[in-house]
């Protein structure tokens, strides 16, 4: 059997993906073992898993260190790596949005040269400069982005909104929706040729389980 290596984004997405992999007969019990280990091997099925920071998953897949990656559409769009996106896993659903204070609702275009704080500078630049044809100042942050408009660092933010709770609790709201986001399976371009049969078999089994829970 051809061996395959799968990079998982650390955290909730990996846990949600477990059910889909288990349907393909893969042993995911390592997820329940508290450990600092990063690489796990299902010898029987010849599948190696490793955990990486979400933003690094597309990098491992582009370079072929992993054949397959599980990561959010937001990260794939931000990283812009050369790879195939083969499957929407149907979980990890949220939206990429422009958010800010209520006072900017229906009024966003009134501010010229807006300051936009975000963990997603490429997505933000693409949206404002290419879609809205507007020049903005992008300020890159690494987390808790909702702080930026509250403390006066930026006018608005570009960030993911899931339940909307973080925005509501901080007096902010969605001003515009950029795109829908969910977890995806990505595949290395060479692996898609050299390990095609194994990968497509896995995709089929995972789709079966995904569609069952829809
Ligand atoms: C994400 C995102 C928002 C929040 C949205 O942050 O950046 O802050 O979740 O979720 P909600 O709509 O359900 O409230 P994350 O928890 O990843 O932390 P971070 O901002 O520090 O990266």
**Pair 201, 126 in one domain:** no
Q: How far apart are CA 158 and CA 118, in angstroms?
A: 5
pLDDT digits (tens, 9 = 90+) for 25-36: 999 998 888 888
Helix (H), strand (E), coil (C) string for the chain? CCCEEEEEECCHHHHHHHHHHHHCCCCCHHHHCCCCCCEEEECCCCEEEEEECHHHHHHHHHCCCCCEEEEEHHHHHHHCCCCEEEEECCCCCEEEEEEEEHHHCCCHHHCCCCEEEECCHHHHHHHHHHHCCCCCEEEECCCCCCHHHHHCCCCEEEEEECCCHHHHHCCEEEEEEEEEECEEEEECCCHHHHCHHHHHHHHHHHHHHHHHCC
- The pLDDT score that the predictor gives to residue 12 is 85
Do 39 and 106 fall within a single domain? no
Provide the domain count of the chain.
2
Measure 144 CA to ligand 1 centroid, in angstroms.
7
Residues flanking ligand 1, CB < 6 Å = 143-146, 159-166
Judged against a pLDDT cut of 80, whether residue 198 lies above it is answered with yes
Summarize pLDDT for 51-79 with one digit per residue, the tens: 999 999 999 999 999 999 999 999 999 99
Residues 127 and 154 both lie in one domain: yes
98 and 165 in a common domain:
yes
Q: Among 53, 124, 161, 173, name the best residue to mutate to test ligand 1's pocket (greatest count of ligand atoms within 8 A of Cβ).
A: 161
The pTM assigned to this predicted structure is: 0.94
Q: What is the CATH number of the domain that holds 21?
A: 3.40.190.10
- pLDDT for 213 equals 74
Give the pLDDT band (50/70/90) at residue 161: very high
pLDDT tens digits for range 93-129? 999 999 999 999 988 888 999 999 999 999 999 999 9
Task: Write out the residue range of the structural domain in which residue 9 sits.
Answer: 4-92+182-212
Give the nearest ligand 1 atom to 159 CA.
Answer: 7
- Nearest CA owner, ligand 1 atom 1: 160
pLDDT of residue 1: 87
Band (pLDDT 50/70/90 cuts) for residue 10 is confident
* Residues 165 and 193 occupy one common structural domain: no
Nearest residue to 22 via CA among 209, 213, 214: 209
Do residues 120 and 176 both lie within one domain?
A: yes
């Amino acid at each position: 059997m051809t061996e395959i290596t799968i990079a998982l984004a650390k955290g909730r997405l990996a846990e949600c993906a477990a059910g889909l992999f288990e349907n393909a007969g893969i042993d995911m019990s390592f997820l329940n073992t508290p450990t600092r280990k990063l690489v796990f091997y299902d010898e029987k099925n010849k599948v190696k898993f490793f955990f990486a920071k979400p933003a690094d998953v597309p990098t491992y897949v582009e370079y072929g260190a992993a054949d397959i990656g599980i990561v959010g559409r937001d990260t794939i769009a931000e990283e812009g790596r050369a790879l195939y996106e083969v499957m929407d896993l149907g979980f990890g659903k949220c939206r990429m949005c422009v958010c800010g204070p209520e006072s900017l609702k229906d009024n966003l275009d009134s501010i010229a040269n807006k300051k936009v704080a975000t963990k997603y500078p490429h997505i933000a630049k693409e949206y404002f400069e290419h879609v809205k044809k507007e020049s903005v100042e992008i300020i890159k942050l690494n987390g808790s982005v909702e702080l930026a408009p509250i403390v006066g660092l930026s006018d608005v933010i570009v960030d993911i909104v899931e339940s909307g709770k973080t925005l509501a609790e901080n007096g902010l709201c969605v001003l515009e929706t950029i795109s829908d986001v969910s977890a995806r399976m990505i595949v290395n371009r060479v692996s898609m040729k050299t390990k095609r049969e194994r990968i497509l078999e896995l995709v089929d089994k995972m789709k079966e389980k995904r569609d069952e829970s829809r």
